[in-house]
Structure 1
Amino acid sequence: MRFVSMEDVEPGQLLGRTVYSGNGTVLLSAGVQLTVYMINTLKRIGVTMIYLKDPAFEDVEIEDMVSEATKKAVFRDMSETLEAVRSGKEWSTRKISNSVDQLLTDVLSAKELLFQLTEIRTKDNAHYLHAVNVALLSSMIGYNLGLNYGQLKELTMGALLHDIGKSVALAEDADQDVVNKSHHTWKGFEFLKHKREFSLLVAHTALQHHERLNGSGLPRGLTSESIHLYAKIVAVANQYDNLISGEGGLAKKAMLPHEACEELMASSELLLDRDVLIEFNRIVSVYPTGTSVRLSTKESGVVVRQHRGLPGRPVVRIIRSAGEDFEVKEVDLATETTVFIDAVLA
């Protein structure tokens, strides 16, 4: 399986991973043979990168942090929740609590895996996928920092609902321009603090996730000692997902994972918490499986395996033509210490 730009996709190729809508239903199933119409539709709904099956990498599988059933359930529950909030209707806190339990069950059973971008982002599912990505990343960082299950659940709940204030603002104002001018963190805090089923720390996570250590953040300009650990964690996860998606006003276009990691590390101790960033860098795949790369040896290949604890040193498979046959070799950057990834190939 390879992770490629939509511009390089051709009719007849096989889709490597299922594409979901915002409410968790399947738009295109993995294994389907792509047509011109399908390719154009994927581009129209905002897909820029996609996984394709490739005979040369038939054995390469992306290991998921969460199961298909969990993904569908969380997408569905988040879709129903945010739609209810936007409509001013009641919503089930129990469903969200159950979704978080499902996420944590999957994450804790797969805690040795690295976080990779495995879901295909569309205009329709972007909001829900962002919430899930931030929740997954936050829970993994929290686990590495030694939080117990109760704390992990509070953190993951706050991460999953960190942007709920945007939906509250839409319900109140019904005008996107007004929503953009009002800070959604206050809206989210005021909304969540009245939910007695949730810890007050869930509301504070939504309130503080845009605060920065040097006091330059919003909405209150808090400095390091006044920002809760949960919010410091969600701040890193939120900013990373915004950078790789090109959302949130942080970048003019989507960054590649290694570029986003470098951007975050540049903010260490000034804007973002150093200890949180250290754990973040231990769990995020800098070069996701399926990515085409060029090595410092000038050879080009595809990332086929990851090393937990060495996210920047994956295994790269290189395939070269040798007459009518092909020569295949794998370079393990964990052992080939003088070889580096020189560039990511679009």
Structure 2
Amino acid sequence: MRYMSVESVEPGQYLGKTVYSANGTVMLAAGVQLTVFMINTLNRIGVTMLYIQDPNFSDVETEEILSDKTKQAVMREMNDTFEAVRSGKEWSTKKLSMSVNQIMDDVLSNRAVLVQLTDIRTKDNSRYVHALNVCLISTLIGMNMGLNTTQMKDLAIGALMHDVGKGNMTTKEDPALDLKQHHTWRGYELLKSKHEFNLLIAHVALQHHERLDGKGLPRGLKSPDIHLFAKIVAVANQYDNLINPFDGSGLLPHEACEQLMALSDIGLDRDVLIQFTRIISVYPNGMAVRLSTKETGVIVRQHRGLPGRPVVRIARGDGDELQVSEIDLAEHTTVFIEAVLA
């Protein structure tokens, strides 16, 4: 498979990964042959990147931590929960807790796999994919930091629900508003009212926009007063927002990582960032790159612990004369990725 910009996709190519709607149903199934209408529709609903089947890279797969079954179930539950919040109805903490159990089971079964946030987003499903990604990253960081099972579950629920205060928002927040109206406060009040949840879960929603230097929202807390769970979710939330903002224009993973590292011990916790860099894939499988040798190729495999040094496959020539070779950047230490290609 190849991971490419939707603008570069051509009619007749085959979709490599399924596109889901906000409630977890299949919008376009993997393997479907794309038409002009389908490509235009994907563009219109906010899709920016797609996985496309490519015979030259048919063996290239994205290792997924979460199964499609888990993703569909969680997105469906998130859709129901946010719809209930939006309409002022009750929502089930039990169902939400069961969704988090599914996430944790998948994470514990695939703890050696690097996170590659390449699920196809639309304007409709982006909020729920974002919540799922923040939960996934936070859970892995928490596991690496030695949290026990109970702590990991509280962290995972807080991460999944960190933006629940936006449930009834239809417009962007006005910074001039009373901070008591900020989505972090609304999320805190909603989660605090659910007595089945640990109060720490509500504090994740309240504190995930705080900064270590005291310049965050809503209370301007400094590092000692910010809970570890909120520090973890802050990193996961900021990363996912950088690579997949709701307006559709985002940074590449390696660019986003550089921005996060620049905030170490200023806005974001250094120890959390260290664990983050150990679980994230900087260059996802299927992404086209140009090397410092001026050769172009596609990322085909990852090295855990060396996210910036993947294996790159290079194809030279055409048709029957095609020659394929692979460069393992973990071994070829003088070769670097110079640019990411669309």
Scaled by the length of structure 1, the TM-score of the pair is: 0.95
The aligned counterpart of 2:276 is 280
Match of 1:230 in 2: 229
Aligned pair 1:36/2:36, yes or no? Answer: yes
Paired residue secondary structure (1:176): coil
Please, which of 302, 311, 323 is the counterpart of residue 306 of structure 1?
Answer: 302
Check the 8 A contact 1:22/1:79 in 2, yes or no: yes
State how far apart, in whole Å, the 2-side matches of 1:119 and 1:323 are.
Answer: 31
SS of the equivalent of 1:34 reads coil
| Structure 1 residue 191: Cα displacement | 1.0
Query: Where does residue 185 of structure 2 map in the other structure?
Result: 186
1:7 aligns to what? 7
Q: Percent of counterpart pairs with the same letter?
A: 65
Give the distance between the partners of 2:33 and 2:137, measured in 1 at CA: 32
Look up the match of 2:255: 259
Given that 1:317 and 1:328 are in contact with CA atoms closer than 8 Å, whether structure 2 keeps it comes out as yes
Checking the alignment, whether the CA contact within 8 Å between 2:173 and 2:182 is kept in structure 1 is no
**Cα gap change, 1:323/1:163 in structure 2, threshold over 3 Å: closer, same or farther?**
closer
Whether the 8 Å CA contact 2:253–2:282 is kept in 1: the answer is: yes
| Equivalent in the alignment of 2:327 | 331
Please give the residue correspondences for 1:236-255 in structure 2 after superposition, counting only pairs within 5 Å: 236-247=235-246, 253-255=249-251
The residue number in structure 2 matching 1:176 is 171
Cα 1:322–1:123 shift into 2, 3 Å:
closer
Alpha-carbon deviation of 1:324? 3.8
Paired residue for 1:296? 292
Residue 176 of structure 1 deviates from its aligned partner by 2.8
- 1:27 corresponds to which letter in structure 2? M
CA deviation after TM superposition for structure 1 residue 304, in Å: 0.2
Indicate how the Cα distance of structure 1 residues 177 and 64 shifts in structure 2: closer, same or farther if over 3 A, else same: closer
Mapped partners of 1:33, 1:10: distance in 2:
10
Q: Counterparts of 1:262 and 1:57 in 2: how far apart (Å)?
A: 29
In 1: Cα distance, 2:217 partner to 2:162 partner: 14
> What do residues 235-288 of structure 1 show as CA deviations (whole Å, max 9, x unaligned)?
00000000001348xxx9300000000000000011100000000011100000
Which position in structure 1 is the counterpart of 2:264? 268
Amino acid aligned to 2:78: M
In structure 2, C-alpha distance between the alignment counterparts of 1:339 and 1:208, rounded to whole Å:
41
> CA contact under 8 A between 2:315 and 2:325: conserved in structure 1?
yes
**CA deviation after TM superposition for structure 1 residue 325, in Å:** 1.2
Superimposed CA distance per residue, residues 114-156 of structure 1 (whole angstroms, 9 cap, x where no aligned partner): 0002210100000000000000000000000000110000000
Where 1:301 maps in the other structure, the secondary structure is strand
Aligned residue in 2 for 1:131: 131
Instruction: Summarize the Cα distance change of 1:26–1:320 in structure 2 as closer, same or farther, 3 Å threshold.
Output: same
**1:114 & 1:58 partners in 2: Cα distance?**
20
**Aligned 1:154-169 pairs, distance under 5 A:** 154-167=154-167, 169=168
Q: Which amino acid aligns with 1:74?
A: V
Structure 1: tracts of 5 or more residues without a match: none
Check conservation: 1:46, 1:121, Cα contact below 8 A.
yes
Aligned to 2:206: 207
Question: How far, CA to CA, are the matches of 1:288 and 1:5 in structure 2?
Answer: 14
2:99 paired residue number: 99
| Whole-angstrom CA distance in 1 between matches of 2:172 and 2:20 | 28
Give the whole-Å Cα distance in 2 for the aligned partners of 1:59 and 1:304.
8
Name the counterpart of 2:196.
197
Deviates further, 177-186 or 134-143? 177-186
Contact 1:64 1:118 (8 Å CA) reproduced? no
Contact 2:135 2:159 in 1 (8 A): yes
1:146 counterpart letter in structure 2 = G
CA–CA distance in structure 2, aligned partners of residues 84 and 323 of structure 1? 55
Contact 1:313-1:332 within 8 A present in 2 as well: yes
Question: 1:238 is aligned with what amino acid?
Answer: N
Please say if residues 5 and 48 of structure 2, whose CA atoms lie closer than 8 Å, have aligned partners that are also in contact: yes
Q: What displacement does 1:188 show?
A: 0.5
Q: Distance in 2 between matches of 1:202 and 1:148?
A: 15
Query: What is the SS of the residue equivalent to 1:342?
Result: strand
Aligned partner of 1:220 in structure 2 is 219
Letter in 2 for 1:126: S
| 4+ residue segments displaced more than 2 Å | 175-182
**Aligned residue in 1 for 2:315:** 319
| Amino acid across the alignment from 2:209 | H
CA contact (8 A) 1:21 1:125 kept: yes
Shift of 1:179: 7.1
Report the CA distance shift for 1:122/1:322 in structure 2 as closer, same or farther (over 3 A). closer
Contact conserved, 1:189 with 1:207, CA < 8 A, in 2? yes
Q: Counterpart of 1:254 in structure 2: which amino acid?
A: G
Normalised to the residue count of structure 2, the TM-score between the two structures is 0.96
Give SS of 1:330's match. strand
For the residues of structure 2 that align with 1:282 and 1:159, how far apart are their CA atoms?
Answer: 19
Question: Equivalents in 1 of 2:113, 2:242: separation in Å?
Answer: 22
How far did 1:292 drift?
A: 0.3
Q: Distance in 1 between matches of 2:105 and 2:171?
A: 36
Larger mean Cα displacement after TM superposition, 324-333 or 201-210: 324-333
Q: Secondary structure at the match of 2:300?
A: strand
